[in-house]
Amino acid sequence: MSEACAASWSGALVPAMVRVSQTGAMSADDVVVLPMTAEDWPQVSVIYAAGIETGNATFESAPPSWVDFDRTRLPDHRFVAVHASGTVLGWVACARVSERPVYAGVVEHSVYVHPDAQGRGVGGLLLTELIASTEKGGVWTIQSSLFEENVISQRLHERHGFRVVGSRRRIGRSVAGPHAGRWRSTILIERRSQTAGVD
Ligand SMILES: CC(C)(COP(=O)(O)OP(=O)(O)OC[C@H]1O[C@@H](n2cnc3c(N)ncnc32)[C@H](O)[C@@H]1OP(=O)(O)O)[C@@H](O)C(=O)NCCC(=O)NCCS
């Protein structure tokens, strides 16, 4: 994977569309989406680790180092959702799927929300920014693989214009977490832009 995509951040401080929780713990104006920086990494890494622990987010068994993350994820298309208190609530990032020029506009993404902030629209906020940013940068396809058990992520992506390409039967075996040792099936999803790569 390289960082050849020469896009720039879409620039908007995304107005929070976050739904107010039943406890009223988060108001609709409390969250902004910002470019991810090295300073965010400690909190991003904790959120990444929490997702890994569920066993339904990724085959990875531990978050990478910041150096590896920074090297492999496109710098113009990685974001954090930040509460007014400064707490990072979630993150999204993507990487090119291939070095081949023909696939220059195809990326694979990940989106993770802190367990305490899930179910309030933060994931949707992050995906919205990723889609805007990548489309502005000429990316025409965003793809990802989701575990078939991860119905919340499937729902989130369906809501944001992703379609199911197909399912992969027992494509890999989990090495850690609650499903360690089990062969897992995934669902390949993609979102084809209607504004980028249409000439
Ligand atoms: C998947 C994930 C990113 C979703 O983020 P989120 O901020 O909780 O999602 P949203 O609040 O935007 O909700 C997305 C949809 O799922 C639904 N949803 C959210 N939490 C839910 C829950 N616990 N039970 C049922 N549905 C739920 C929402 O109602 C919403 O659907 P709707 O638009 O029809 O109302 C988050 O759950 C997460 O980080 N999980 C762990 C890491 C992971 O699995 N990442 C995805 C793999 S890359």
From residue 167, alpha-carbon distances to 121, 133, 189 in Å are 26, 28, 9
What pLDDT score was predicted for residue 29?
Answer: 67
What pLDDT score was predicted for residue 171?
Answer: 98
Q: Nearest residue CA, atom 1 of ligand 1?
A: 153
Q: Give the residue-averaged pLDDT of 31-44.
A: 98
For a pLDDT cut of 90, what percent of the chain falls above it? 84
Distance 91 CA to ligand 1 centre (A): 13
Rounded CA gap, 141 and 2, in Å?
16
Does 121 sit in the ligand 1 pocket, CB within 6 Å?
A: yes
Q: Is the pLDDT of residue 127 over 50?
A: yes
Q: Which atom of ligand 1 is nearest to the CA of 124?
A: 12
Q: Which atom of ligand 1 is nearest to the CA of 19?
A: 11
Mean pLDDT of the chain: 88
CATH of 31-141, one of 3.40.630.30, 3.40.50.800, 3.40.50.2000, 3.10.580.10: 3.40.630.30
Q: Is 167 helix (H, G, I), strand (E, B) or coil?
A: strand
Q: Where are the alpha helices (DSSP H) in 17-142?
A: 41-54, 66-72, 122-136
Q: The whole model's pTM is what?
A: 0.88
Q: Give the residue-averaged pLDDT of 69-94.
A: 97
Q: Is 116 helix (H, G, I), strand (E, B) or coil?
A: helix
Strand order of the β-sheet with 79-83 is: 31-35, 79-83, 88-96, 106-113, 141-147, 183-192, 163-173
Neighbours of 12 (CB within 10 A): 12
What pLDDT score was predicted for residue 66?
Answer: 98
> Mutation test of ligand 1: which of 116, 128, 156, 159 has the most ligand atoms closer than 8 Å to its C-beta?
156
For 83, half-sphere exposure in the C-beta direction (CA atoms, 13 angstrom radius) is 16
Predicted confidence band at 13 (pLDDT cuts at 50, 70, 90)?
very low
Does 63 sit in the ligand 1 pocket, CB within 6 Å?
A: no
**What residue spans define the domains of the chain?**
31-141
Nearest one of 115, 111, 125 to 189, comparing CA atoms: 111
